[in-house]
Chain A
Amino acid sequence: MEVEILARLQFALTIMFHYIYPPLSIGLGLVMVIVEALYLKTREARYLQMAKFWTKIFALTFAMGVATGIVMEFEFGTNWSTYSRYVGDVFGSALAAEGVFAFMLESGFLAILLFGWDRVGPKLHFFATLMVALGAHFSAIWIVVANAWMQTPAGFHIVGEGLTARAEITDFWGMVFNPSSMVRLGHTLVGAWLAGAFLVISIASYYLLKNKYVEFAKTSLKIGLGVALVSVFLQLWLGDQSARIAAAHQPAKIAAFEAQYKTQKGAPLTVLGYVDTKNQKLVGIEIPKLLSFLLFGDSDAEVKGLDQFPEKDWPNVQAVFQTYHLMIATWGLMFITIIMALWMWYRGTLFQRRWFLGWMVLSVLLPQIGNQAGWVSAEMGRYPWIVYNLLRISDGLSKAVTANQILGSIILFGLVYFFLFILFIYLLNEKIKHGPDDKEKEQASPYHQLDQIAEELK
């Protein structure tokens, strides 16, 4: 039991910390492609300057993503070796595809993106940017397909029994296009676009607030808001689809998301609430019949409650309910922010409303919170299954690993990640303060003139 809790805790820690960065890389990748395309079309220097600036920020998030992502690659084997044996035939091929098609593409062309401004022409550079952005999106495809397979398995059969049982592929495309994979993929990618767009919005608003690099900030804000506007509408549709698919394939999960203890017809949707887990009751603001309507397109449809499932197999209802609703709340706030910003811009008052610019600086946290909360509810909602209805979490652990080993590595990663996060914020802050100007172009480094002093200090 202790091993199970610790292994889950470690996975949660490492995946949540990792998941701060890839969405930013995917979202910024899209922004860089747009900016460089504008540069190629107009050949205006301001777009070049923007491309260079956002590339620098991208490089930082990408480096963090790689450093924390390598851990994930090996953690399946270290802490979940029984699971690895069970799913390797299916899951492994998605992971191998990710390595061959996505990571190689991304990291290879990144070299040109970062160091190749003077070595290749603008067209080849744009091609490299496109490949890096594509690679970032590809990496999401394979890992989300693998995860979706764990939620709604398809295209496989079970071979062997007991300790040697494992899932083997029978239909590769059936596995790739399992019931939830494409909607989850869309949902994840659009979440990542929002993360990137709001980072752009936040930094641009910061410059506007400080009255620095105003032209750069306005153009960036326009692009950021544009991407965010499209994404926020797409996300409404994808989120809805995602819930419908969960209702069809993982009813226990939806019941926990909405804290529906009892099966009922015409189930209400709770907007905000608190789960009284002792009395198995939900206290909050309800809209009658809406849940039935949203999930099944019929306001009197029956929604399965947790009473249909053995109580020992219930997810942690409070945690799942709250994180799921937190995700939806962040969507609402993002939606309002974008609409207000566009309205004020249209009215010409946006740049005088300092409080609103301040809010937009903070708004970078919204998609981050939304992404994390959404994943927590999706993954905790799968409890007690590591592969839905096939393999229990408690059966997927490594047999050769002890609680102390896991605890030791949690402490190790905890310290390393804490330190890493401080450095990330520090460096991001440095890059933002340094701004898009490339004045020191001729010098060897931003601190070129100080090298001499550094030498003497030794």
Chain B
Amino acid sequence: MSVYTSLEFFWFTAFVLLITGYAVLDGFDLGVGMLHLFSKKDVERRLMLNSIGPVWDGNEVWLVTAGGALFAGFPDVYATLCSAFYLPVMLLLSGLIFRAVAIEFRSKQPMAWWRWMWDVFFSFASFLIAFILGLIMGNLIAGIPLDHTKEFAGTAADIFSPYALLIGLFTTALFTMHGAIYLMMKTEGELHERLRGFVNPTIIAFIILYAITTIATLIYMPHMIDNIRDRPYFFLVALLNIFAIANIPRCIHLGYDGRAFISSALNIICLLALYAIGTYPEVVRASNAPDTLSLTIYNSASSIKTLKILFLMALIGIPLVVSYTIGIYWIFKGKVKLDSRSY
């Protein structure tokens, strides 16, 4: 059986698809959150908030489902990750709680201090979530010390390495740009013009961090390019990524907001594809002894029987989820307007 037809490979792909779905969807609403404080007028803030109003909750579910998928398919990875990243996971969870609460509560009272307080929570929590997700991602690329029982063998300080912090920053820049482009697509009139002023700095910040991250990865994480060197056709993903990024400022300049958003989504898809190609078959790399102690998709997977069940579940479930997600976005398409049921 070839690698590409193994069940472990299939479920790893499904997991990567789920986090990609999460990053593309929740990415823009986290970005909107981070940009929230940059707009000063209440009505503008409400417009921005309501552009993600009907969908942010559903977007978050992708993360929950990805967590479940990891637990089911790779229990060892799930167990090692959650206990190794104890502090970041706890902060991530409180960020998610505060963000949800802030969205629900900010517009319930008219007082300026009330709205400002929740706005700060909303924005800061969005930043925290994006940053921690990036931090964890950075650690997955760089690896963490593991012992022979697959347990984390380092200290909290190991998690906050410069490379992981860089990926954290990179992720916040990525989502901020994605959110700014989403807002362009969903707004009109004066706000739309003002947002134009937001978009370019976010694109520039992203491109700078993209360059730094690429260089840092090539120099310090050479294992990330082994698979691409072995299978040169994967280089096309990197090329596609560059073209997608280049297409963003072009579309913004020409006023094609929708196409800019598609390019931005494609950028995220390519980045996660490069991550998955680079780390495969390791999911949690052991920085102390990568060749013997790493958790790969083969030594940490569930039994073949369970993977078969999961395969069937994904086969039935994912088309359903994708079709009604598209349906719901279709119902709420068009520019955002405020009404009696808005946040």
User: Is chain B a partner of chain A in the same complex?
Assistant: yes
Which of A's residues lie within 8 Å of B, judged by CB? 60, 63, 66-71, 73-74, 76-79, 81-82, 84-85, 87-93, 95-101, 103-105, 107-112, 114-120, 159, 163, 166, 168-170, 172, 398-401, 405, 408-409, 412-413, 416, 420, 423, 427, 430, 438, 440-447, 450-451, 453-455, 457-458
Task: Indicate if B5 sits at the interface (CB-CB under 8 A).
Answer: no
List 13 A-B residue pairs with CB atoms under 8 Å apart, sorted by A's residue number. A84-B79, A85-B75, A92-B71, A96-B71, A100-B321, A103-B65, A111-B332, A115-B341, A399-B151, A400-B152, A441-B340, A445-B338, A457-B111
How near does chain A come to B5, taking the closest CB pair, in angstroms?
21
Chain B residues, CB < 8 A from A79: 83
User: Which residues of B91-115 have CB atoms within 8 Å of chain A's CB atoms?
Assistant: 93-94, 96-98, 100-101, 104-105, 107-112, 115
Measured between alpha carbons, how far is A271 from B4 in the docked complex, in Å? 62
B341 touches A103 (CB 8 A): no
A169 touches B64 (CB 8 A): no
Interface string of B157-181 (1 = CB under 8 A from A): 0000000000000000000000000
Chain A residues, CB < 8 A from B109: 447
Measured between alpha carbons, how far is A250 from B167 in the docked complex, in Å? 50
Quick one: given A103-B65, A169-B306, A445-B338, are A97 and B313 in contact (CB under 8 Å)?
yes
Measured between alpha carbons, how far is A115 from B343 in the docked complex, in Å? 10
Measured between alpha carbons, how far is A450 from B114 in the docked complex, in Å? 13
Residue of A nearest to B62 (CB): A104
Chain B residues, CB < 8 A from A423: 101, 105
Measured between alpha carbons, how far is A60 from B343 in the docked complex, in Å? 12
How near does chain B come to A176, taking the closest CB pair, in angstroms?
10
In the complex, besides A93-B306, A109-B328, 17 extra interface pairs with C-beta distance below 8 angstroms are A70-B63, A77-B78, A87-B75, A97-B317, A101-B313, A101-B317, A104-B325, A112-B331, A120-B331, A172-B305, A398-B79, A405-B86, A430-B108, A441-B340, A451-B43, A454-B112, A458-B112
A95 touches B112 (CB 8 A): no
**Partner-binding segment picked from B51-59, B215-223, B225-233:** B51-59
A108 touches B82 (CB 8 A): no
Quick one: given A76-B82, A169-B309, A454-B110, are A103 and B71 in contact (CB under 8 Å)?
no
Chain A residues, CB < 8 A from B86: 78, 398, 400-401, 405, 409
B57 touches A110 (CB 8 A): yes
Measured between alpha carbons, how far is A442 from B152 in the docked complex, in Å? 57
Chain A residues, CB < 8 A from B64: 69-70, 73, 99, 103
Measured between alpha carbons, how far is A69 from B65 in the docked complex, in Å? 12
The 10 closest A-B CB pairs, nearest first, are A88-B75, A77-B82, A92-B72, A99-B65, A100-B317, A81-B79, A450-B110, A111-B54, A96-B72, A99-B68
A104 touches B96 (CB 8 A): no
Chain A residues, CB < 8 A from B320: 104
Chain B residues, CB < 8 A from A101: 313, 317
Task: Indicate if B303 sits at the interface (CB-CB under 8 A).
Answer: yes
A168 touches B303 (CB 8 A): yes
Measured between alpha carbons, how far is A117 from B64 in the docked complex, in Å? 28
Chain B residues, CB < 8 A from A420: 97, 101
Task: Indicate if B314 sits at the interface (CB-CB under 8 A).
Answer: yes
Measured between alpha carbons, how far is A453 from B79 in the docked complex, in Å? 52
Chain B residues, CB < 8 A from A398: 79, 82-83, 86
Residue of B nearest to A415 (CB): B94
Quick one: given A77-B79, A95-B68, A99-B64, are A109 and B324 in contact (CB under 8 Å)?
yes
Measured between alpha carbons, how far is A166 from B301 in the docked complex, in Å? 12
Secondary structure dominating the interface of A = helix
How near does chain B come to A74, taking the closest CB pair, in angstroms?
6
Chain A residues, CB < 8 A from B313: 93, 96-97, 100-101
Quick one: given A81-B80, A84-B79, A443-B340, are A95 and B331 in contact (CB under 8 Å)?
no
Quick one: given A88-B302, A168-B303, are A438 and B340 in contact (CB under 8 Å)?
yes
Interface string of B310-334 (1 = CB under 8 A from A): 1001100110110011001001100
Task: Indicate if B13 sits at the interface (CB-CB under 8 A).
Answer: no
Quick one: given A63-B100, A168-B305, are A400 and B71 in contact (CB under 8 Å)?
no
Measured between alpha carbons, how far is A400 from B151 in the docked complex, in Å? 7
Residue of B nearest to A87 (CB): B75
A412 touches B94 (CB 8 A): yes
Contact pick for B57, options A99, A107, A412, CB 8 Å:
A107
Task: Indicate if B81 sits at the interface (CB-CB under 8 A).
Answer: yes
Tier of interface size on chain B: 35 or more
Chain A residues, CB < 8 A from B282: none
User: Which residues of B224-270 have CB atoms within 8 Å of chain A's CB atoms?
Assistant: none
How near does chain B come to A147, taking the closest CB pair, in angstroms?
15
How near does chain B come to A57, taking the closest CB pair, in angstroms?
13
Quick one: given A77-B83, A88-B75, are A399 and B115 in contact (CB under 8 Å)?
no
A89 touches B75 (CB 8 A): yes
B305 touches A170 (CB 8 A): yes
Chain B residues, CB < 8 A from A399: 83, 149, 151
B93 touches A71 (CB 8 A): yes
A107 touches B90 (CB 8 A): no
With most chain A CB atoms within 10 A of its CB, the pick from B67, B79, B100, B328 is B79
B75 touches A92 (CB 8 A): yes
Measured between alpha carbons, how far is A123 from B76 in the docked complex, in Å? 46
How near does chain B come to A76, taking the closest CB pair, in angstroms?
7
B332 touches A401 (CB 8 A): no
Measured between alpha carbons, how far is A95 from B313 in the docked complex, in Å? 12
Quick one: given A67-B100, A423-B101, A427-B105, are A96 and B65 in contact (CB under 8 Å)?
yes
With most chain B CB atoms within 10 A of its CB, the pick from A91, A99, A163 is A99
A111 touches B55 (CB 8 A): yes
Residue of A nearest to B322 (CB): A104
B342 touches A444 (CB 8 A): yes
Task: Indicate if B291 sits at the interface (CB-CB under 8 A).
Answer: no
B90 touches A169 (CB 8 A): no
Task: Indicate if B289 sits at the interface (CB-CB under 8 A).
Answer: no
Measured between alpha carbons, how far is A237 from B81 in the docked complex, in Å? 43
With most chain A CB atoms within 10 A of its CB, the pick from B98, B321, B340 is B340
Chain B residues, CB < 8 A from A100: 65, 68, 313-314, 317-318, 321
Chain A residues, CB < 8 A from B338: 444-445
Chain B residues, CB < 8 A from A438: 340
B72 touches A88 (CB 8 A): yes
Contact pick for A84, options B41, B78, B104, B342, CB 8 Å:
B78
B340 touches A107 (CB 8 A): no
Chain B residues, CB < 8 A from A446: 340
Measured between alpha carbons, how far is A455 from B107 in the docked complex, in Å? 13
Residue of A nearest to B148 (CB): A163
Measured between alpha carbons, how far is A423 from B104 in the docked complex, in Å? 10
Measured between alpha carbons, how far is A430 from B63 in the docked complex, in Å? 31
Measured between alpha carbons, how far is A366 from B111 in the docked complex, in Å? 36
